[in-house]
Chain A
Amino acid sequence: MKNYDVIIIGAGVTGTAIARELSRYQCKVCVLEREEDVCCGTSKANSAIIHAGYDAEPGSWKARLNVRGNEMIESLSRELDFPFRRNGSLVLCLDEKAYPDLKKLYDRGIENGVEELQILNRDEVLSMEPNVSDKVYAALYAPTAGIVCPFHMTIAFAENAYTNGVSFHFNTEVQQIEREAKGWKITTGKGEYNAKCIVNAAGVYADKIHNMVSEKKLHITPRKGEYCLLDKSAGNHVRRTIFTLPGKFGKGVLVTPTVHGNLLIGPTAMDIENKEGVNTTRDGLQQVIEKSADSVKNIPTRQVITSFAGLRAHEDGDDFVIGETENDFIDCAGIESPGLSSAPAIGEVIGKLVQKKYDLKEKIDFISTRTGLPDLNSMTLEKRNEIIHKNPAYGNIICRCEMVTEGEIIDAIKRPLGAKSLDGVKRRTRAGMGRCQAGFCSPKVMEILSRELGKSIEEITKSGGNSRIIEGINKDTF
């Protein structure tokens, strides 16, 4: 039996943000994750946007936590060394008749406390973003909106939490939760755990976890969003994140640069039953391409390098479910958009809630900063040579599309909570995330993983579990 003060279920951006906050205090914290790595669910497949905060109903958790999250993110990105850029966003109004809706959005933003909002006329919009649709009538400009790398953000939270003593147990799926005299017994695929307090950050499964302990049932609908990612050669097509006026199912299809210099278009919004339904569909991808053309013209869709789908955890109540819903059981459920933007604030709120309830003392040796992998491509030639001289592996390019070196891949594997699979390496280093989509580098990355982890090539997976890459050796069936 493993005993903890707090067990967090789910190592997505919400769970790891909470873990990082709790690691400030003197308590024993563990994160249970059913996948082999952090950032494997909704956190890995979304728009990678830090919203300004004008969308949600004033007073809602979504509104409050988004605005607070946006305030926190910049200093947090410096403290934890993950990429964030305040590129600003534009919500386009393409029809004069819809102008009152744009104005409504502006007013809501003001009420939510979003700063620097302004409404721009057609000419102002087109001079800022020449590729925006010629139909544009006006736009809501939010300079505080930004873009982030959701992988690096989640990994940064997790690594920092780990450094400060939080345990992470992967491949550990929660099967059952029972109340005991003092706290909870959690049965998982990897044995039993005891905790005084549970934090439910299980994404699309947060209803399932909640309903194990509560009579007041939650219901989460996976709302699928499909995306296309374009080559870096298309990365400057727009500089800001371009939305259209929101509809019933969210913010519509957006067009945005990513923090790594690609162009991202999507998402669709389709309610589905299957919580594992992260497959893309022909209709969905077609919709992404068609709808993105409504707001931005001449998107070079021939430059698509990959497509993917993510599931938003939509709760029937249409807001985040945050707080202690049962005694010693804290929900962070229904974390759909703006969940990524809100994650730092959710961490803060839950951290304080737990601290207060259990009267936790601060750690005196809390380490607030974390350093990511070195960004070799931004270094000067001299600086780069210095680092290669110390470690020649930094001079060996493995991923030629993203210019990732062997040194960085070894770092990604050897770090705390290091990469165990091709996807793990990809999310940490971008090896395989470029235009050839791992065609050239995957055999080399497999070799490095095999060497560094002491595993055979046959044991190396794409993303843990049964996602093996090699099925056998030549002629083994003859």
Chain B
Amino acid sequence: MEIRNLTCIGCPMGCPLTVKLEDTEVISIEGNSCKRGAVYGKKEVTNPTRIVTTTVRVSGGTEPVVSVKTKEDIPKDKIFACVRAMKEITVPAPVHIGDVILRDVAHTGVDMIATKNVEI
């Protein structure tokens, strides 16, 4: 049996979680104070994912870059691939919150979307 100690990041409470694993099977989670904690604990030891936020160059806008995020969380080990994919991209202004900047970033099936408005 393997025991993994985690800090829940589901909310700012940051509950200390103790996850017990048998092979790759989660057998128990303790320390969470809500249901989301259990979901996070299980996911974090089996399939950890993150929302990635970064910047993309903008041409012809009032600001040189626009902030972007993955619309949903992506596998943790794809974070750098995802960021690298944004290096080559320049989007023309205007850009608005929610605009898709890149579809299926780093083959995650998740779109990268703008999180800010940059006008011309």
Q: Touching in the complex, A and B, CB below 8 A?
A: yes
**Interface of A with B (CB < 8 Å)?**
474-475, 478
Q: What residues of A have a CB within 8 angstroms of the CB of B55 in the complex?
A: 474
CA A478 – CA B87 in complex, angstroms? 7
7 A-B pairs with the lowest CB-CB distances in the bound complex, closest first:
A475-B87, A478-B84, A478-B87, A474-B55, A474-B65, A475-B83, A478-B83
Q: What residues of A have a CB within 8 angstroms of the CB of B84 in the complex?
A: 475, 478
Q: Does B29 interact with chain A (Cβ within 8 Å)?
A: no
Q: Does B74 interact with chain A (Cβ within 8 Å)?
A: no
Instruction: Give residues 39-60 of B contacting A (CB, 8 Å).
Output: 54-55
Q: What residues of B have a CB within 8 angstroms of the CB of A475 in the complex?
A: 83-84, 86-87
Instruction: Give residues 60-83 of B contacting A (CB, 8 Å).
Output: 65, 83
CA A249 – CA B83 in complex, angstroms? 58
CA A475 – CA B85 in complex, angstroms? 10
Q: What residues of A have a CB within 8 angstroms of the CB of B86 in the complex?
A: 475
Instruction: Give residues 19-42 of B contacting A (CB, 8 Å).
Output: none
B80-96 vs A, CB cutoff 8 Å, 1 = contact: the mask equals 00011011000000000
CA A187 – CA B83 in complex, angstroms? 52
**Interface of B with A (CB < 8 Å)?**
54-55, 65, 83-84, 86-87
CA A165 – CA B65 in complex, angstroms? 46
10 contacts between A and B (CB under 8 A): A474-B54, A474-B55, A474-B65, A475-B83, A475-B84, A475-B86, A475-B87, A478-B83, A478-B84, A478-B87
CA A208 – CA B84 in complex, angstroms? 53
Q: What residues of A have a CB within 8 angstroms of the CB of B54 in the complex?
A: 474
Q: What residues of B have a CB within 8 angstroms of the CB of A478 in the complex?
A: 83-84, 87
CA A475 – CA B87 in complex, angstroms? 6
Q: What residues of A have a CB within 8 angstroms of the CB of B83 in the complex?
A: 475, 478
Q: What residues of A have a CB within 8 angstroms of the CB of B65 in the complex?
A: 474
* Given A475-B86, A478-B87: 8 more A-B contacts, CB < 8 Å: A474-B54, A474-B55, A474-B65, A475-B83, A475-B84, A475-B87, A478-B83, A478-B84
**Nearest B residue to A477 by beta-carbon distance?**
B87
CA A474 – CA B55 in complex, angstroms? 8
CA A475 – CA B86 in complex, angstroms? 9
CA A51 – CA B65 in complex, angstroms? 53
CA A474 – CA B83 in complex, angstroms? 11
**Nearest A residue to B64 by beta-carbon distance?**
A473
CA A475 – CA B68 in complex, angstroms? 14
CA A475 – CA B65 in complex, angstroms? 12
CA A103 – CA B73 in complex, angstroms? 78
**Nearest B residue to A474 by beta-carbon distance?**
B55
Least distance between A472 CB and chain B CB atoms (Å):
12
CA A478 – CA B83 in complex, angstroms? 9
Q: What residues of A have a CB within 8 angstroms of the CB of B87 in the complex?
A: 475, 478
Least distance between B58 CB and chain A CB atoms (Å):
12
CA A475 – CA B90 in complex, angstroms? 13
CA A474 – CA B67 in complex, angstroms? 12
Least distance between B109 CB and chain A CB atoms (Å):
22
Least distance between B93 CB and chain A CB atoms (Å):
17
Q: What residues of B have a CB within 8 angstroms of the CB of A474 in the complex?
A: 54-55, 65
Least distance between B46 CB and chain A CB atoms (Å):
29
Least distance between B81 CB and chain A CB atoms (Å):
10
**Nearest A residue to B85 by beta-carbon distance?**
A478
Least distance between B79 CB and chain A CB atoms (Å):
12
Least distance between A456 CB and chain B CB atoms (Å):
12
